[in-house]
Amino acid sequence: MKLMIVDDDRQIREGIRDGINWRSLGVDEVFDYPNGKEAYHYYQNIKPDIILADIKMPQMDGIELLKAIRKLDKSVCYVILSAYSEFSYAQEALKLGANGYELKPLKMQNLVSLMKNLIHDMQNKAINLKYREDIQNRRFLDWIRGESSFETDSNFMVQNFFKSINMIPSNYLILAIIEKIDDTGSDDLFWEILSDYNVHFIKIDKRKALGFLYTDSSYLRMFENKVVLMKELKSMLTRMNKHEINSNIGVSDIFTYNNLQAGYKEARMAIDCSFYTGRNSINFFEVINTQKIMSTGQTVKEALEQLISDTRACDDMKVKEDITVLFDIIESKKISKDVLIMLLQKFTIEFENYVGEDHIAELIEPVYYLDEYKDKLIGFTEKIISNIKFNSSKEEYSLSVRMMMDYLKNTDITEVSLVDAAEKIGKSPSYLSFRFKDEVGMTFVDYITEYRIDAADKLLIGTSLPVSEIMKKVGYHDYVYFSKLYKKKRGRSASEVRKNKK
């Protein structure tokens, strides 16, 4: 809360400013000025909640200041300071909308008591106003989303809503929905940034807002307003990005006040397209092909069946090509997220014997963007193919070797060793080493090395982890040794593989 003290007597100003513990009353900032003219000059920048003003001052007195302030703001609390001989002026001030007065010479105890009462009343009014605004906003949102109907008074309700936010119910509007889409950045800062722009936003929930922007019925003005809106929204996203706040925006076409429910649906459909366009995107409804949104088509089914077939055949290269084709179709047709999840569920059913329930749940768990599903499906198919190959190879080997492979599969890659495997299987290390090399064609130690290098490949291509971190994750601790070993096995360094990844 901000307080402005206006009095031509410096001692009185300083006495009020420094003689009262304003913070204990809920006042955070105190400003003082020697006359009404200077106070009025700074009023718009400061926007005080309370003004304490003397009546008799040079250049602009307290009555003139009150009249000027009331033209700008009828809600600011205005208190007159007057001598007893000036009481008639104080009465005039009360008629003009002053909230109280205090007689000079001032008694701080009386002034504190007056201010406590006024601040208490202001806080109660603010709470009641906020409550009424919340009710009004919620009622309007329920209506615009089609969740409730007001058959007899909807027009009256809509007009009252827009009057309450100082918008004229005769203009054309563009609707915009902005949504903070993950846990990065501050929710409070998200709302603070929204309040700095010329788009009036109301809260849908703690991370989503509905905004309204004026436009005009003439084509030229509509175009100009859209350009302005685009700049505002881009600036908004840029600021949020600087504070690590990820958000998306959906923008409707132009509507009148009588057709806002359709506008809301358009804005909602537009923001849903951020699933395809990615983080920090602005999506305009007019560029959306609604027929494609509603269509899945036979080609999706064919692409999915091809992916299933090539996954069964363990053809790594073709599987990646199949996934690219499938997601290109999904994106071009703007298939809904729900349909996509159904497709993924169909895929998991085909291979549920090769992966655990946790992996299946992770694949079909909702995400924000299409590319995230694509990355998850690539990882999922790699796991399936690896397990298919592993299970196929196991059938060719003796029980001891199969147990060694099971050990390798179920043990942390950083902890595997021949000695540990022998201890868990109940055979001597030398016997297991002989059996493994005889049947598999390489020593168990060499097999572990290949296993670890394969794991390093996946991390190099599929993550942005530094090589030094990947080295540790696959069981190595000497960077020089790992670098030489990797280059020996792959013919190029880990850094080169990282640079050339697609």
CATH of the domain at 461: 1.10.10.60
Q: 102 with 11, same domain?
A: yes
Q: 108 with 158, same domain?
A: no
> Structure pTM?
0.46
Final residue in a domain of this structure, among 370, 385, 400:
385
Residue 456's domain comprises 444-499
Q: What is the pLDDT of residues 383-430, one digit of tens each?
A: 888 777 766 655 567 878 888 888 888 888 888 888 998 888 888 888
Domain-located, residue 135 = no
Per 3-state DSSP, the chain is made up of helix, strand and coil in percentages (nearest 5) of: 60, 10, 25
Domain-located, residue 142 = no
Q: What is the pLDDT of residues 435-460, one digit of tens each?
A: 888 887 788 888 889 889 888 888 88
Domain-located, residue 113 = yes
Q: 7 with 115, same domain?
A: yes
Proportion of the chain above pLDDT 70, given as a percent? 84
Amino acid identity at 386:
S
pLDDT (0 to 100) of residue 393: 59
Domain-located, residue 134 = no
pLDDT (0 to 100) of residue 364: 64
Q: 171 with 262, same domain?
A: yes
Q: 282 with 375, same domain?
A: no
Q: Within the chain, which residues score under 70 in pLDDT? A: 84-87, 127-131, 148-153, 166-171, 214-227, 287-298, 336, 338, 352-364, 366, 390-396, 500-502
Domain-located, residue 171 = yes
Q: 39 with 162, same domain?
A: no
Domain-located, residue 429 = no
Q: 293 with 283, same domain?
A: no
From CA 236, how far away is CA 204, in angstroms rounded?
A: 18
Q: Give the number of domains in the chain.
A: 4
Domain-located, residue 132 = no
Output the 3-class SS for 200-264: EEEEEECCEEEEEEEECCCHHHHHHHHHHHHHHHHHHHHHHHHCCCCEEEEEEEEECHHHHHHHH
- Output phi, psi for 144, to 5 deg: -70, -25
Domain-located, residue 425 = no
Q: 163 with 177, same domain?
A: yes
